[in-house]
Amino acid sequence: MQPAAIRHRLIFIRHGETGWNVESRLQGQQDIPMNGRGRDQAGAVGRALAGWRGPELAGLDFTASPLGRTMETMRLARAGMGLAPLPFGTDERLKELTFGSWEGLTWDEVKALDLKSAEAREADKWNFQPPGGESYEMLAARVLPWLQSIEAETVVASHGGVARVLMALIAGVPTAIAPAQNIIQGRALIFEAGACRWL
Distance, CA of 97 to CA of 66 (rounded, Å): 13
Residues 6+ apart with CB under 8 A from 180: 125
pLDDT of 152 > 90? The answer is yes
pLDDT in tens, 94-132: 999 999 999 999 999 999 999 999 999 999 999 999 999
Q: Tell how strand 61-64 and strand 89-90 pair up.
A: parallel
CATH class of 10-198: alpha beta
Query: Which pLDDT does position 92 carry in this prediction?
Result: 98
Q: Are 97 and 136 in contact (CB under 8 A)?
A: yes
Query: Which pLDDT does position 6 carry in this prediction?
Result: 82
Distances (CA, A) of 2 to 5, 52, 125, 160, 183: 9, 30, 18, 21, 22
Q: Where are the domains of the chain?
A: 10-198
Q: Are 34 and 42 in contact (CB under 8 A)?
A: yes
Element (H, E) at 90: strand 89-90
Q: Are 90 and 66 in contact (CB under 8 A)?
A: yes
Query: Which pLDDT does position 25 carry in this prediction?
Result: 97
pLDDT > 90: percent of the chain: 96
pLDDT in tens, 17-72: 999 999 999 999 999 999 999 999 999 999 999 999 999 999 999 999 999 999 99
Q: Are 94 and 158 in contact (CB under 8 A)?
A: yes
Element (H, E) at 192: strand 188-192
